[in-house]
Amino acid sequence: MSIGDALRRMADRLAGRRPSEEDERLIALFRNRAELKKELHAIDDERHRLLDRLKLQEGATMRVEEQLTALEQYLGRPEEGYKSLAYFQLRAVWRAAAHRLEQFSSELARQQKDRERKQQLAEFGRVRDARVAEMDRELAEANVLADQLQAEQRLGEQRLAGLRGFWNYFRRRSMQESIDARRHRVDAALTQVAELTERRRGIESEPPPLYEGLGVEGRRAVNLAVIAYAEFLHERLAAADLAELVRQSTVRRVYDTSYGGRDECLSLMQRAGRAIADIERMRDDLADLKARTDRLRRDASYRNDTDTIPTQESLQSSARVLLEESWDVYRALLR
């Protein structure tokens, strides 16, 4: 398009003349070109972002492969085999305890949600019943008033019909005025009865409120019980002289561990195997857990009104469990 054509088309627009079909096609073409350029830039940005992620992933894959190669070489030495088996068996104990703790947290959260929802529905029903009862009282009073006014109206109309003769003219006129005035009151009373009936029906049909999830107090209750359960698991493994060994397996590499000779490693593996079986089959001592949770509740303090995880300083008896993050306890806690 030449400069002259562009100026001509601009003059046509300023003059209010409708652009030609060719002009409209050119305008649409330029608009489409601009949109395509935007999409091209966005696709190009996405491509660079994906390439960066691919490089990061390749680096991570390379590091994992190097670790696997080093581990293969390490396990290839016979003198290290039993130690490695014992190490990973201890890691399995940690995973079993963490899995049991997470299951406990999930089940407790579900029970707490059910409890809170039932309480919410019970409170909603109590308030609704009270509102309906109040509406019933107002409706009964309105019905009594309406019935009374209607009875008076019927009696007045009967008396009016019984008045005959010209000498009762003024009495009839006065009574008619009373009947007309009362009719407005009857209509108002019947309208009020209808409105109250509709409002009562609306209250009865109100849906219960949506449940928005555990509140702060509910999450705090679950978290205290989870911490008590983590403390219980720690004591159970400590009684088998495994708690510290299991923890060390999560903070040290296999190359840096030492459990003694072949016989010591085999003995440790057997103890770890029994611990895993015990964790998977054990029954929860609910009375003990309640006593632990109550003790923690008496001592627990929080940083603010919305925080759901107690401070370590306030839970001296469970400070080690929290400090060492035993059994990935913080993953099981509710925020």
pLDDT in tens, 226-263: 999 999 999 999 998 999 999 999 988 888 888 888 89
- Whether 68 is in a domain gets the answer yes
- Whether 57 is in a domain gets the answer yes
Q: Does the structure show a pLDDT above 80 at 12? A: no
Q: Does the structure show a pLDDT above 80 at 6? A: no
- Are 115 and 198 contained in the same domain? no
Does residue 320 contact residue 234 with C-beta atoms inside 8 Å? Answer: yes
Q: Which of 38-47, 90-99, 185-194 has the lowest mean pLDDT?
A: 38-47
Of 41, 40, 78, nearest to 261 by C-alpha is: 78
- Whether 209 is in a domain gets the answer no
- Are 117 and 222 contained in the same domain? yes
Mean pLDDT value across residues 117-141: 93
Q: What is the domain range of residue 235?
A: 81-121+214-332
- Are 245 and 179 contained in the same domain? no
* Most confident segment among 4-8, 83-87, 315-319: 83-87
This prediction's pTM: 0.68
- Are 287 and 184 contained in the same domain? no
Q: Is 274 helix (H, G, I), strand (E, B) or coil?
A: helix
Count of domains for the chain = 3
Average of per-residue pLDDT values in the chain: 85
- Are 100 and 47 contained in the same domain? no
Q: Cα–Cα distances in Å, from 200 out to 15, 87, 123, 125, 131?
A: 66, 70, 18, 14, 8
- Are 225 and 251 contained in the same domain? yes
- Are 142 and 40 contained in the same domain? no
Mean pLDDT value across residues 292-310: 92
